[in-house]
Amino acid sequence: MVVKVSFRSPVKCFFGLLISIILLTKLVERERSPPFLQKVRDIIKGKTIIHEQSSKGKNIQNHGRAPIPIILLTYMRSGSSFLGSVLQANPDVYYLFEPLHAVQFAVRSKETFTFLDGSYRKYDNFLDVAKLTVAGLATCNMETIPIKMWFNGFLMFSKKAKGMRYCVSKAKTLAESHACINVTKLACLNSSHSALKIIRIPMDLLGPLMTSIPNLRIIHLIRDPRATVLSQQAYGVIPAARFRQHVTAFCNRVYRDIVTAERFMTTFPDRMLRIFYEDLAKDPKGYAKVIYNFTEMTYTARTESEIHSMTSGDVPENCGQLCTRKSNSTAQAEVWRKHASLESVNTVDDVCQPLYTKLGYKHIESERMLRDITVPLRQAVTSFDDFRYA
């Protein structure tokens, strides 16, 4: 719309400017509102009815079954955003990136959580509300989780829920919040899989969920601990004076998760998958097929094309069929070795020995070994019983 403003008088100029501001505001509002917000308005007006999932599943498009839940459990700066993108390359996946972020900070601030039934609760222990939230999201039971979860800025990374933060923040009543959440619930139920990428909980928290949700799959993503902690340090979350203390706590945490994951592999066969980020980065298509097979997701030519586009560099011009693509993901996985100090690396090697024994990581013995990215830093693990590391 073009607004013609006459500048014959200051008054008309003022009103013309005011009209322009109002129109611009409405335009921004419209641009920020994704298509599903119109569905929200229809629900509020009573034009659309969101049915609860039934055993017959008549209103569900995924062949009458609940989505298969996937939890990608990993650690900050371990390549999980990349693997999350691999999962979300399948258009039939309802994916949420770091859904516990806003919840964790709300617990730290001692906020009171509001739920859709109008109840209020306060949590002193983050893991209590985390377990509740993960269980609700994994099964698309959005009514059971705190509304605060939908204020998460990381929702922008979800193709199917990226408008939720804006929608819920604009809701003035519980009914309006319910309308927003009902729309994303239907998107979840109509997907073949629901996937959550989480870095904020220990593996053992998922034990009860593995029992109560029989088709739950867990992907445990691990990156070389040297790469992870040095990236965390560069990101500004590790004070230099506490580097050794932080590394010790981190490797102990990963070690405990490894032990729990091994127990899951025995107790819940075929529902636990361990992936090393370096392996995924070097062969993204091959490992994507492994992951899709494990999660029972459909791997299509379209999926492979999307994964290819986000992991490969450009092909030089006029090079014909003999040219090969250089994977950006491969280079990214090893780039830390070009800049890391040998002193910091040796600190990690020193305090993370039990974890290295479990996973096969090698100590870096020299500057030359550190910089030469053709030298692998992990080897096959020989299974043995050693009470020190059990």
Note the pLDDT tens digit of each residue in 10-53. Answer: 554 455 544 444 443 443 344 354 555 565 655 555 544 443 43
What is the per-residue pLDDT for 51? 39
Q: Is residue 77 part of a domain?
A: yes
Quote the CA–CA distance of 292 and 195 in Å, as a whole number: 12
- 162 belongs to a structural domain: yes
Task: Confirm whether 117 is domain-assigned.
Answer: yes
Tell me the backbone φ, ψ of residue 193, rounded to 5 degrees: -140, 145
| pLDDT, one tens digit for every residue, the chain (390 residues) | 443 434 445 554 455 544 444 443 443 344 354 555 565 655 555 544 443 433 333 344 444 578 999 999 999 999 999 999 999 999 999 999 999 999 999 999 999 999 999 999 999 999 999 999 999 999 999 999 999 999 999 999 999 999 999 999 999 999 999 999 999 999 999 999 999 999 999 999 999 999 999 999 999 999 999 999 999 999 999 998 999 999 999 999 999 999 999 999 999 999 999 999 999 999 999 999 999 999 999 999 999 999 988 877 554 444 433 333 445 667 788 999 999 999 999 999 999 999 999 999 999 999 999 999 999 999 988 655 554 444
**How many domains does the structure of the chain reveal?**
1
The answer to whether residue 211 is domain-embedded is: yes
pLDDT on residue 367: 97
As a whole number of angstroms, the distance between CA 235 and CA 152 comes to 20
Cβ-based neighbours of 158, under 8 Å, separated by 6 or more: 88, 94, 95, 96, 97
Residue 90 lies in a domain: yes
CA distance 77 to 81: 9
273 phi and psi, to 5 degrees? -130, 130
Question: Is 330 part of a structural domain of the chain?
Answer: no
Structural domain boundaries, residue 187: 68-223+270-311
pLDDT score of 41: 59
- The model's pLDDT over 87-100, given as tens digits with 9 standing for 90+, comes to 999 999 999 999 99
Angle in degrees, CA 290, 72, 96, rounded to 5: 115
Which residues 6+ apart lie within 8 Å of 66 measured at CB?
53, 139, 140, 189, 215
169 found inside a domain: yes
Would 35 be classed as within a structural domain?
no
Q: What is the pLDDT of residue 37?
A: 58
Contact 357, 321 (CB under 8 A): no
To the question of pTM greater than 0.85 for the whole model, the response is no
Q: Rounded CA gap, 20 and 253, in Å? A: 56
pLDDT at 332: 81
| Closest C-alpha to 35, from 213, 187, 252, 189 | 187
- Could you give the C-alpha distances from 42 to 19, 178, 183, in angstroms and in order? 28, 13, 10
- Sign of the dihedral through C-alpha 179, 184, 190, 193: negative
